[in-house]
Amino acid sequence: QQRQDSRWLSIKRFHDDRLSLSTVPSQKRYVNYFAGLLSGSFRISSRAVYLDRLLLHGLPRGGDGRPMQGHYFVKVYLNLSLVHASPVQSLAAQQIQSDCLVVRVRPHLKLLGDVLIKMYFKRILTAKTWETLFRIQIPSYLVTESVITLYKQDLDLACDDPNFPASSRAELQFSWTGRSLQSGECRSAINHSWHRFRPVSTDSSPDTGGGGLG
């Protein structure tokens, strides 16, 4: 126990000295993961998970305060290698009344390792470049729930983007069999239990399991 506490204090000291000023949510989450592994509050799973779909609740707003019309798509990287690019979804005003975008992954994407998800946007499809709306980085070996929800403050780039409403959240839906477990509809997904990845707390200790996923 003394050795475990010493390891936890070392990573806490590293966080306080080097990473406490970081404003990137994914970096804070990974500090949280390592602290949890050292304290014993997290356990690594060798089981692969399958990404079924991504839902974005609370689309970015345009100058008129309404959800931005345009073109969206998602890229998924596994251990820094591109493994999936979704079809481009073009959303007009009548298609975004629910203020939610659903990106289905077909076939279901098997993930085992470090996962990076990026969502891109263009107002006009013929524009030269895509804008990155947000990034999510998570390790698959710590996914223990079929639904993981990350709020605006948990999303790289979007956390500082005034175009995203404060209520924005990205919902990742997983399965362990490669079969859909969720309906994928925006209204039903909102009622599903959420599992939030919190940034590390500098006041937590190994005894309380602070900085956990729940």
pLDDT of residue 11: 58
Task: List the structure tokens of 40.
Answer: 């014993």
pLDDT of residue 125: 85
pLDDT of residue 165: 95
**Which residue has tokens 């707390």?**
201
Integer angstrom CA distances of residue 149 from 46, 110, 145, 191: 22, 19, 10, 12
Gyration radius of the chain's alpha carbons: 18
pLDDT of residue 210: 30
Output DSSP code: residue 61: B
pLDDT of residue 107: 83
Residue 36 exposed, middle or buried by CB count within 10 Å (0-12, 13-18, 19+): buried
Task: Tell me the pLDDT of the chain (214 aa) as tens digits.
Answer: 555 566 556 656 665 665 556 668 888 887 777 777 777 777 777 788 999 999 999 999 988 888 888 999 999 999 999 999 999 998 876 566 678 899 998 888 999 899 999 999 999 988 889 999 999 999 888 888 899 999 999 999 999 999 999 999 999 999 988 776 555 556 544 333 333 443 333 233 223 233 222 2
Report domain extents, the chain.
2-39, 49-190
- CA-nearest of 57, 64, 49 to 110 is 49
pLDDT of residue 8: 59
- pTM, 2 dp: 0.75
Range 49-190: architecture per CATH: Sandwich (2.60)
**Strands (DSSP E) found in 127-168:** 131-139, 147-151
pLDDT of residue 16: 64
